[in-house]
Amino acid sequence: MSQTPKKIRFTASLVTCLSLAGCAGGQFETAAPPSDNRAVSTGGMCTATQAEMTVTVGNAFKDGDWVRDYYSGNKAQVINGQVTLTPASDAEGLLLLEAVDAPEQSFTWAGATVYFTVTDRFANGRTDNDLNYGRKPDGMDEIGTFHGGDFAGLTQKLDYLKDLGVNAVWVTPPFEQIHGWVGGGDQGDFQHYGYHGYYALDFTRPDANFGTREEFRTLVEEAHARGIRVVMDVVMNHPGYATLQDMQTFNVGGLREGFEKHLPEQWGDWRPESWENFHAYHALIDYDHPGWANWWGKDWVRAGIGDYDTPPKASIDPVRGSLAFLPDFKTESTQAVDLPIFLQNKENTRATQLEDATARDYLVTWLTDWVREFGVDGFRVDTAKHVEPEAWKQLKTKAQNALDTYRANNPGQPLPAEEFWMVAEVFPHTVTRSSYFDAGFDAVINFDLQEEAQAGAACLPAMEPIYSEYSDKMHGDKPFNVMSYISSHDTQLFSRIAENKPAMQKRVAAALLFTPGTSQIFYGDESGRAFGPTGSDGHQGTRSDMNWADIENGTAQPVLSHWTKLGQFRARHPAIGAGEHKQLSTKPYVFSRTHGDDRVVIAFGKE
């Protein structure tokens, strides 16, 4: 009886993984509803005009100025505070007005377009690294297996991102992941590997499925050469689970006495019987075995196994609690710790013993080494509310020091920027200046826009109260920035919300890319990537393979070309995200954005 609670606690984490998005991205819930009662129903789509429009330009341009519609290339002179132009036939009623002699603008994060890729699912540049550490395809829907995407593939697609107007790419954690799999979904109906990067095993090495250190270096350097910054996803809240494969490889944990006979020679090759599911292997494991001391160790994590501390629920103690029963790092501890035994014995790790270092010190060192060596420009921080603010302050300070070191050692690199950037995932954060901005963060992910943008996809003027509110808040007494999205790996795909209707997927580009603050594109938003196989976990389908075939055969072209035009316009004008918003007209719907000497006017006409 004494071992049953511990077994149940640990098994529950694997039974629910990844039906809870926290297993992959650090949040349990789906997207938050809007913060007030503003309507977000898409209703019927309005009909965009293709007729000539007279547009008021306010103070953005003065009489006599010549402006150009970036979409069509047509020009007009401002007379009596107005210009008259006709939208391009494929512009969805939009006029994108800029000064004909508009000066080139400097990069600002508030005006940036960040492209989020799940590395494994984006592009496969090398097929010879598709299977490592004994991993295998499942021969079924491949819901939770590695698909082959890698650093080499992402590097090959950087020109595609540049053409899209992207100036920062967010890559999922590149670290070596747990080698084996856990049961996926509520029903244990698929094998779930750490393809997404959130099940770290060794923070000092890239996962062999993603590529080599030199390939990661090439990715960063090639991105920089194109003016694209690299934002690396990092996790300090938890490592990955222990799996049968890792137990055998690293001699951690132990089986119940005599149960070896139920396992194949390679434990990771175990498969359930016809009456079992992929959670059933837990019956073979002794979660009170002294061999668990060889894993991370009780001084490093709370895991509720062996003699480890049992963590509370994260809903009770967000900092010391466990997310989906993942092992919780003791980042708040002031106790000096030794390097975990499995890392001491791991032949190819770059982790070494640090003198008088806490678990947090090790993690900060490991993460910032990627900045120091490769010149990473920023961190997207997973599960920020589940780690104490002091840890984030330390990470930001050390990351800035590491960036300074990289710049000093690589004076010929045009990037990275001088200031390191950090954005926090804090579910369900909205557009507000919270205490996270005092903990080292430059921006926080905004969870409201995914639902709010649905109305804008139907008819852009529905975004006006949202745009005005966001701008007023972010340009208040204490300015701040947020990063907004319409799709993510932990919530929904907009293509599914839009029922794969190309018109909605096309129009939502304006709703997102004209939103004040940083805009985040999830890979395939711009090309109508479809929801994939998901099993009993509703979030797995958001991480389907990038739909390159649709792009190559032209199926995605009408949607993609529209996103590309708007993305390029946004890249030319940081004012769109960083500037102050002002509505100039209702019919047609017209607004301006101004930021220093950068100024644009955007108009949308409907019949």
Active site residues: 382, 425
Distance from C-alpha of 430 to C-alpha of 480, rounded to nearest angstrom: 12
- Cis? peptide before 416, omega within 30° of 0: yes
Residue 103: how many other CB atoms lie within 10 Å: 9
Residue 210 forms beta bridges with which residues? none
Complete DSSP assignment for 478-532: S---EEEES--TTS--HHHHTTT-HHHHHHHHHHHHTSSSEEEEETTTTTTPPP-
CA 196 vs. chain centroid, Å, equals: 10
Phi-psi region of 56 (alpha: psi -120 to 50; beta: other; left: phi over 0): beta
Distance from C-alpha of 548 to C-alpha of 555, rounded to nearest angstrom: 10
Look up residue 137 and give its two tokens: 């395809």
Burial of 12 (0-12, 13-18, 19+ CB in 10 A): middle
Question: How many alpha carbons fall within 13 Å on the CB side of residue 503?
Answer: 11
Q: By 3-state DSSP, what share of the chain in percent is helix, strand and coil, each rounded to 5? A: 30, 15, 50
Residue 10: how many other CB atoms lie within 10 Å: 24
Distance from C-alpha of 382 to C-alpha of 512, rounded to nearest angstrom: 22
